[in-house]
A and B are shown apart, each in its own frame.
Chain A
Amino acid sequence: MKTFLRAALVSSMLLVTASAQQVTRGGTLQLAVDQSPVGLDPHVATAFSTFVVTGQIYEGLLDIDPALKIRPLLASKYTRSDDGLTYTFTLRSGVKFHNGDPFTAADVVYSMNRVKDSKTASPLASRLASVTSVKASSPTQVTFTLSKPYAPFLSEVATIAIVDQKYVEGGGNLQRAAVGTGPFVLKQWIPDTALLLDKNPSYWAKGQPYLDGLKFNIVPDASTRQLGLQSGTYQFLPNIDASVAVTLKGARSVQLLRSQDLAYSLLGMNVTRKPFDDPRVREALNYAINRPEIVQGVYFGDAQPGGPIPPALKAYATPVNNFPCYSYNPAKARDLLRQAGYPNGVDFSILTFSTIKTVADTAQVLQAELAPAGFRAKIDIQEFGSFVQNWRNSNFDAFVSQNGGSIDPDGQLYRTVVSGGSTNVFKYKDPAVDALLEQGRSTTSNGSRVRTYAQLQKTLACRGPLAFLAYGALYSAARSEVRGFTPNPTRSLAALKTTWISKE
């Protein structure tokens, strides 16, 4: 049996009441984002441009706080059966959807089944792969039954948005109109121009949100967004690039809100192609990478070299100095290459794209770093769509990209390195790794999970198909009058509901 820590709950409520005395209510926060959402259905469109908006409109059963702890949201508590096969969620009462429909257990069941249904074609479906049934045991209780114990279950199910069954079955098109339980209500969507969100006047958390509304201005040009923030036209730029953060550092009336990022840069290798089919070459490549230099050159010093598990997951992440191959050693790299039968070095190509600046920059820094060790890389920068196609079809020698991280080591590694995994584009196959991955997700004892993932990291760090490079810092930039926003390593903007604009 496990319930939420009551103490944590009480203290967070105290915090809210304490700050509630000083907050200024009202006003519309002007945000500037680079891209229009591709649709608003939280089960179908999962792109980041959609998520920043739908994250204000919809809520899941649980939430992930800035310290990466799982917190109650639409579910006030949950229990797990001793065999780890049944989870029962008790739902918050008195919650209403934006159209006035009451939120019930039936909506949770409907939402989960909608995600599972292949007709919905939801990219989130695999999160519920271990779930055999979702049933409403009462109007305020939902029971999930699992086929086998599955440790990351809570983090997988936490943020899946709950939609209004009545509304969707009545023909509501979630891609264009949104009806959730969240703190803000969609008022207007002018494609490629702006999205207007109004405060939800009957939001269940009393007194929230503090703002009257949010306006997501779609401003594709980075320098325009930046100048607009400096002039006060915009008040908030969520999740900006490291290079933009550097230029805004010290700007008048601008504050940078910093958090760790779960996302990481990586160099992926195709283990079915020469020379990376040889684990010694993969190890040599790791020795040839100067990670601190990447941190300096690409992230302006504000990043951490990291291994297979994000440093933000303190309980699991193995410190990088435990991986010998993570210390720069070109001589050792050349030596390993010679042992693998490449005394004259190797030629290969790095596939990458230019839409994320840190990615393109990383590829160039890597190219220069690898050369002294005998890795002669040719960079192949492609348009994003073309990159994705080649990436998905494993049509590369190596690629440089950025991956979003997970708050559970299983989410971080399983589908990426398990044999036949959905994002195992490296074609990596290792029965020992597969066994550890299965063990990591099926054991629910924390101690044994930590040991399992420690072993896994050791195996993957040097001879695995990915060279993990760096975990950057995550910044949002705001005008100095913006208060109460806490950045979240998951990039969620849920804290906008407690954000306010100071009148001072």
Chain B
Amino acid sequence: MLSYAARRLVDLLVILLGVSVLVFLMIRLIPGDAVQILLGANTEVTPEQIAQMRHTLGLDQPLLTQYGGWLAGVLRGDLGKSVWTGAPISQEILARLPVTLELTVLPLLLASVLAVPLGLLTASWRNSGVERTIRFFTIAGITTPAFWLGTLFIYVAFVVAPDWATIGYVPFTTDPLGHVSRLVLPVIALALPLLAGLIRILRSSLLEVLGQDFIRTARSKGLSERRVLYRHALRNAMVPLLTVLGIQAGYLFGGAIVVEQVFAIPGFGRLIVGAINERNYALVQGAILVVTAGFVLINFVVDLLYAAVDPRVEYR
């Protein structure tokens, strides 16, 4: 188990290094650099001035020099500085982390807490009215994108309760109530499609497990249906659920960009898209590095959890 963890950590470093090279090259391969983007299509600048600006920003250096300098900084724990404001990248990323963690953890928690009972319900009450109702909503939930739900929520909130409706973001420390009230809608918008997906997966995986021999054995031992469902079936049906949760957690951590746009929430998604649009190279690199690390770590944790829920899983 320990040696497995160590091996996975080495993998993580290799992945991060690979991703850093890819990101470094990709952002520079997109046409238009920081200077051109900043100046836009309508300026008074001469080509000499553009060259001077590029020089000031170090963009005229060979790619290898730029990458080497950046990597050396990262190894010292310095992610570099924002092209235009000169603010340390680490500061900008740290400012986003709490926002992004909330937008990752809260929808996941909400969705998983609701998914288990609803999934059990659909699996045990097959072909009933309850099951059909839940199925209708899960299909609607899966096919409805979160950003559309978000826009709908905002619209409804503004029409129904304009005094109550708030958008944007305030840190918990400055205004706890305002903080929570602003997060309710985006968290629900992110959780609903996720919940729908989880219910479907849990249902099918439960149905599969319920048809297996050990369930029949458990029942023939005279265990109550409840015990069969909770102790035997659910645990075994959790593995696919965890996989999906892991992937979704990574996706949310990378930034649920459209939901962030709609609700004006400064999470990682907006940070990265904004940085790409501005060709703020160091910021793109730093932010994607952190997201990648987060993604890989989540998957690592999910792998460890497999063993916890399913004793048949072994690590070598």
Contact = CB atoms under 8 A, between A and B. Distances in A.
Contacts of B95: 190-191
A385 B85 contact: no
* Chain A CB within 10 Å, residue with most, of B84, B92, B274: B84
A9 interface: no
Interface stretch (A212-220, A431-439, A461-469, A489-497): A212-220
Interface in A192-217: 192-194, 217
B45 A422 contact: yes
Contacts of B262: 221, 224
B165 A388 contact: no
A194 B165 CA distance: 18
Contacts of A404: 42
A386 B278 contact: no
Interface of B: 30-33, 36-49, 52-53, 56, 84-87, 92, 95, 151, 154-155, 158, 162, 165-169, 261-264, 266, 270-271, 274, 277-279
Given A175-B86, A217-B264, A385-B36, A121 B49 contact: yes
B36 A388 contact: yes
Report, nearest first, the 6 A-B pairs whose CB atoms are least far apart. Answer: A385-B32, A192-B266, A121-B53, A386-B31, A231-B162, A39-B84
B154 A224 contact: yes
5 contacts: A47-B38, A221-B264, A224-B262, A384-B37, A423-B43
* Chain A CB within 10 Å, residue with most, of B33, B49, B52, B263: B49
A388 B41 contact: yes
Nearest to B267: A192
Contacts of B274: 36, 192
Given A38-B38, A126-B45, A385-B37, A218 B264 contact: yes
Nearest to B48: A118
Contacts of B278: 38
Contacts of A392: 36
Contact of A384 (B42, B154, B277): B277
A261 B95 CA distance: 38
Contact of A175 (B46, B84, B165): B84
A422 B87 CA distance: 31
A125 B41 CA distance: 17
Interface string A20-54: 00000000000000001011100011110000000
A123 B32 CA distance: 17
A39 B85 contact: yes
B49 A125 contact: yes
Nearest to A219: B264
Interface string A217-248: 11111011001101111000000000000000
A175 B84 CA distance: 7
A125 B44 CA distance: 8
A235 to B, nearest CB: 13
A343 B155 CA distance: 54
Contacts of B154: 223-224, 227
